[in-house]
Structure 1
Amino acid sequence: MVFIAFFVLSFHSFGQKSQMKAFIDYKSYYSPDQGAYVDLQFQFIAYTIRFAPVDSILQAKVAVSTIITDVATGDTVYTNLFALESPRMRDSIVEDFYDILRIPLQPGKYTAHVELTDIIAQGKPVDGKLEIEVSGDSKHVSSSDIVVAEVASPSTNHESPFYKSGYEIIPRLSNFYSQTMNRIPYYIELYNTHLIQDSSFGLRQQIVSSQTNQVVPGFSRFTKIKPEPVVPVLRNLDISKLPSGSYHLTLQIIDKNSQTIGETADYFFERINDNIENAENVEEIVLDPAFQASITQDSVNYYLASLIPIARPAEIKSILKTLKAKSPDLSRKHLQQFWVQTSGVDAYNQWMLYKKNVVLVEKNYGSNFMSGFETDRGRVYLQYGTPNTIIVRESSPSEYPYEIWHYYKIKTFSNKRFVFYNPDLVNNGYRLLHSDMVGEQQNYKWQQMLVKRNNSDNNIDGTNGNSQYGGNSQYYYKQD
């Protein structure tokens, strides 16, 4: 059984802007009666699909074409074409809908080619492919992949594609858990445990930090189970006290000697939880000599504070608490802990790269009043990296000095810009005036603010400023 993390990290989004979109994933299972099979899971994004009235209620229709080929031979081993009708919705606010294709496959590697067409919109098909690996037999102890549920409820409807061992499980295809999501309901099947020569076996649950590869305390659980050919397990994992970070939920079948039997089932997920600080005690950190040598005694608090531009709210609170303690040794440990938690085994190298940027923004943007990382330009540089282009206009007949930074790509966002200006006309006194980046200050009257240097226009509804000589900010802003 291939680790579930492989699937979650590589689940696919089919479709582009103005086209229908859907997410697809797969989970691998084994049945003593039927052999190995996979569930091909679909989540259709409702707002990208056209719904039409049917008997005064709304319904969508999607043509789903699936072709699966054997990677080793190139042979087609499965084909399916059908029209999927969404659940009927009475409200104009439509919701995403789901489907599962249950496909028997022999152990091996396959490629699934999927094509989706919005039948009502009669748009162009969207297509994609998903690599599949299947294993499972009757001779070895093993498990299915971990399935996380969007909804799980008792059911006797054996004909439902979502039916599993007495439950209807609507799969959750996203592996991101926001601050408001405090539980992970998961399902797994354990196979051939009757081959274990004992009256019971154990199932060990752990959460492992992907940065440090260490088990997170407080989330481990051990369950004693009676051996059976198939053992279904449905649990509800409480993550309300799990700090922000990237993690793996791991499940292991173990014997009475705590030895792992078979492969570990693994589910990768990301968590945002700014209400919880990381539980590791900073005072217990053992200092790495390399970290110690990289920071002089008189600069340790400066470099700890320089982490604020890239820290989460809970981390910022913790950093300020450490700075208030005025303990250089504690600050060193906190700085090292930050990079170990965010970069794992590459902590030192990532710290040295960041330190280089801190020095750079200090040189370019620092002043007698503010450190470089405290300035708006310094913070943006440290948080998002080097801009692809920077337009600098230090003198203009009608505008304050300004800079326009253009990033071609910031994570999943494209073509994001930042406008900084210097209304006080002091050295390096630039402030962020406007950005179209999500989460940043947005001021769509920014051009009007720029020309206030020589303009008393009080029209609060204007967004383009006055057309004065030398006012080219809009032109520069729109440049690629």
Structure 2
Amino acid sequence: MMRTFLTLLLILTALLTQAAAPPQLLLDVACFRNEDQVVKGGVVEIYATVSGQALTYMRRGPKMFQAAATVTLEVIRPDGSAAYQETVTLKPPVLRDTTAAIKNPISFQKRIVLPDGTYTLRGQVRDQYRAGTASITDLPLIVKTTATKPTLSSVVMLAKPASRTVAEANNFIRNGYSLTRTPGGFYSRGAEKLNFYAELYNAPIGQPLTVRYRVRTVGGAKDAASATSPITGLEGRPTPVLGQLDLTKLPAGEYVLTVELRNAKSQVLSSQTAKLRYNPADYAPAGAVMP
């Protein structure tokens, strides 16, 4: 009897601890050159993802439970004023049973144009069905689009390879490619490949170029995985830079992806980095659902 009581107490404590946890917000941001020459500044893509695990699920009908989170996104100038602000309500998919181990995340993506400068991207998330629960996430944001030399854009981590599309333009399409982001650069159970997308600007036309990309542990000096591929610069428009690396031979951990553009002499013309996390023992659905 005492053992049963202690087991129930431990389960109840775990459930209460999870319920008391604030909602979790992941922010991803990427900067691209603005192809509209009339509008000054760069294109900034903000990708906000709320985990479904810490949200409160309310009954909506027989065997129907749903949560809701209010997300406020702000881009703040150095003087404290807001260059952009928006509040959205995100609702994860309906569950038939609130004890389900897997509660899908929900994402919101916004594409805005900002003048060159230094900003802070701030996201605040609140659980609509539980008062007093909120968390705030800040990220530094630098928009710089005036370079005239070959330059790589931000690197976007993808849950699956970028694919050509003829669909109507939307926030998930860049340069004719449909992009499915992996929130927070997190690769989990079932993810065998790391995929990424970037853009090359001011490409030297007629010169042989190579893209070299590698993954190293945070602070490591040895490549855990690497690959190279030739690339042909496009004249007058951005050149897509796509890549893929095998994850199956990597141990779980945190890594840094480095993407380098090299010339025929193997000199680095431009480089960008992105952080990622790999945990094959965990589960996170790829391609969070849009509201």
Same structural fold, with TM-score higher than 0.5 when normalized by the shorter chain: yes
| Residue 104 (structure 1) aligned with residue 129 (structure 2) | no
Structure with the largest fraction of strand:
2
Query: What is residue 45 of structure 1 aligned with on the other side?
Result: 51
Instruction: Give the structure 1 partner of residue 198 of structure 2.
Output: 188
Q: Which residue is equivalent to 1:76?
A: 82
Gaps of 5+ in 1: 1-14, 274-480
Describe how 1:191-270 pairs up with structure 2 within 5 A.
Answer: 191-193=201-203, 196-208=204-216, 210-216=218-224, 219-228=226-235, 229-242=237-250, 247-262=255-270, 264-270=271-277
Find the residue that maps to 1:47 and give its secondary structure: coil
Query: What corresponds to 2:91 in structure 1?
Result: 86
**Residue-by-residue CA offset, 1:423-457 (whole Å, 9 max, x unaligned):** xxxxxxxxxxxxxxxxxxxxxxxxxxxxxxxxxxx
The CA distance in 2 between the partners of 1:179 and 1:85, in whole Å, is 25
Secondary structure of 2:183's aligned partner:
coil
Name the residue aligned to 1:165: 175
Q: Tell me the C-alpha RMSD between the 2 structures.
A: 3.4
Distance in 1, Cα, partners of 2:218 & 2:166: 38
- Residue 172 of structure 1 deviates from its aligned partner by 1.9
Q: Secondary structure of the equivalent of 2:53?
A: helix
Measured after TM superposition, the shift of residue 175 of structure 1 is 4.4
TM-score between the two structures when normalised by the length of structure 2: 0.71
Give secondary structure in 2 for the equivalent of 1:48.
coil
Deviations 1:20-45 (A, max 9, x none): 22222322222222541222221111
**Residue 126 (structure 2) aligns with:** 117
Q: Distance in 1 between matches of 2:278 and 2:75?
A: 34
Deviations 1:366-390 (A, max 9, x none): xxxxxxxxxxxxxxxxxxxxxxxxx
1:149 paired with 2:154, answer: no
* Contact 2:32/2:153, CA 8 A, preserved across alignment: yes
CA spacing shift, 1:177–1:225, aligned 2, 3 Å? same
- Alpha carbons 1:67, 1:76 under 8 Å: kept: yes
Distance 1:271 1:85 in 2: 26
TM-score, structure 1 as length reference: 0.46
Provide the rounded CA distance (Å) in 2 between the counterparts of 1:159 and 1:62.
27
Q: Which has the larger radius of gyration?
A: 1
Return the alpha-carbon distance in structure 2 between the equivalents of residues 127 and 206 of structure 1: 32
Deviates more, 1:97-106 or 1:176-185: 176-185
| Aligned twin of 2:26 | 23
CA distance in 2, matches of 1:245, 1:21: 20
Alpha-carbon offset, residue 88 of structure 1: 3.9
Aligned residues: 254
Can you list the C-alpha shifts for 1:178-210, whole angstroms capped at 9, x where unaligned?
6864311211122221xx152542222233455
Q: Residues 52 and 166 of structure 1: is their aligned pair in 2 closer, same or farther, counting only changes over 3 Å?
A: farther
- Asked which structure has the greater RCO (Cα within 8 Å, sep 6+), the reply is 2
What residue in structure 1 maps to residue 68 of structure 2? Answer: 61
* Mapped contact 1:203–1:225 kept (Cα < 8 A): no
The 5 A counterparts of 1:423-434 are none
Query: Aligned with 1:213: secondary structure?
Result: coil
Q: 1:149 to 1:224 in 2, by over 3 A?
A: closer
For 2:122 and 2:186, the matched residues in 1 are separated by 26
- What SS does structure 2 have at the residue aligned with 1:89? coil
Unaligned 5+ runs, structure 2: 1-17, 281-291
Q: 1:255 to 1:126 in 2, by over 3 A?
A: same
Query: Counterpart in 2 of 1:460?
Result: none
Which residue of the partner structure matches residue 285 of structure 2?
A: none
Q: What is the CA deviation profile of residues 300-347 of structure 1, one whole-angstrom value per residue up to 9, with x for unaligned ones?
A: xxxxxxxxxxxxxxxxxxxxxxxxxxxxxxxxxxxxxxxxxxxxxxxx
CA 1:121–1:32: 2 relative to 1, 3 Å: same
Counterpart Cα distance in 1 of 2:55 and 2:189? 29
Greater helix fraction, Structure 1 or Structure 2: 1
Whole-angstrom distance in 2 between the partners of 1:59 and 1:16: 15
Q: CA deviation at 1:96?
A: 1.0
Corresponding residue for residue 146 of structure 2? 137
